[in-house]
Amino acid sequence: MEKRTSLRVYIMTIAGAVCWGLIGVFITPLYNRGFTAWDVVAIRGVFTFVILILVMSVFYRDQLRTRLKDHIFFACAGIFSIAFFNFFYFEVFSQSSLSLAVTLLYTGPLFVTILSRLFFKEPLTVRKGWALALAITGCAFVVGLLPLGQEGIQMKTLLMGILSGFCYALYSIFCKPITKRYSALTITTYTFFYTSIFMLLTSDILKKTGQFKYADVWISAVLLSLVATIAAFVLYTTGLKHLEASKASILATIEPIIAVLSGVLFLGEHLNGWQVLGIALVLYSAILVADSRAKAKKPVDTIIKEETTI
């Protein structure tokens, strides 16, 4: 029974990462209907919040109670992390490929390591230094800067990809101070509340309500929220309760692999051998970071994927 339970936990954790990795399949139809990257962020934020608040109101009403002063953390995570991380991620995807977008996104754990050193005084080790070097080298292979100085993507696209990883990492920094007071569902619900408000105020989504007459728009929006956001979050965090954070984090590195495979299988993307090597280096760097942080017994890595409620 113990082995069976353990296997189920591993499967749930991996399933959560797989759901995150399918995001490109769900947002492509929205691009095809004329929505911009900023519009897609708004759709993801609003649909996710509406679904979460309904679930919380019916089943977990007591978890909606919060302290007013903690809403500064919810707001910062919702705006500066989720809104902008999604925008940069989706924009890189729209300008280049899902493979590139998800590879640059996975510089996030490295930014967490650096920011944790600045804000939480976590030590910088040789292992982390190697991880940083491998990630930079891997990204250079993916975007075509290596080998032999090949011409790669536009600097603007590269910068947005790195910013997606940085904003992704900010979620850990903003949410760490409140994780002991609230459940993951509570943090996610209020974080997306501020994301949705911010996006409704800054996007043109309300001017494009006519595009919701198409069935594929509704299907993509709902699947984006249910599968690539809520289901991914619930499955992963359920596994996280029963696994060491380092194990869960390592299992979650299947996300970019699924994203790359879905891009090749469903979106007609192509990868050369150097890009495959680059993706492997970035994934390995994330594993090194997770392992080093686990050995230091720091709790930051328990938070990084709770974004992706993102």
Residue 4 lies in a domain: no
Question: So what's the pLDDT on residue 95?
Answer: 85
Residue 224 lies in a domain: yes
> How far apart, in Å, are the Cα atoms of 50 and each of 10, 190, 273?
29, 11, 43
Q: Structure pTM?
A: 0.76
Residue 194 lies in a domain: yes
Residue 116 lies in a domain: yes
Q: Which residues of 187-224 are buried (b: 16+ CB within 10 A; e: fewer)?
A: bbbbbbbbbbbbbeeebebeebeeeeeeeebeebbebb
Write down the residue that tokens 């409620």 correspond to: 309
For 62, other C-beta atoms within 10 Å of its C-beta total 8
Domain membership of residue 79 as a residue range: 23-306
Question: So what's the pLDDT on residue 297?
Answer: 47
Residue 9 lies in a domain: no
What tens-digit pLDDT sequence spans the chain (310 residues)? Answer: 444 446 787 788 788 888 888 888 899 999 999 999 999 999 999 999 999 999 999 999 999 999 999 999 999 999 999 999 899 999 988 888 777 787 777 777 677 767 777 776 666 677 767 877 787 787 777 766 677 655 556 788 888 988 998 998 888 788 878 878 888 888 889 999 999 999 999 999 999 999 999 999 999 999 999 999 888 877 876 776 666 554 565 566 677 777 777 878 887 877 788 878 888 887 787 777 656 555 554 444 444 444 444 4
C-beta of residue 113 within 8 angstroms of C-beta of residue 264: no
Residue 18 lies in a domain: no
C-beta of residue 139 within 8 angstroms of C-beta of residue 289: no
Count of structural domains within the chain: 1
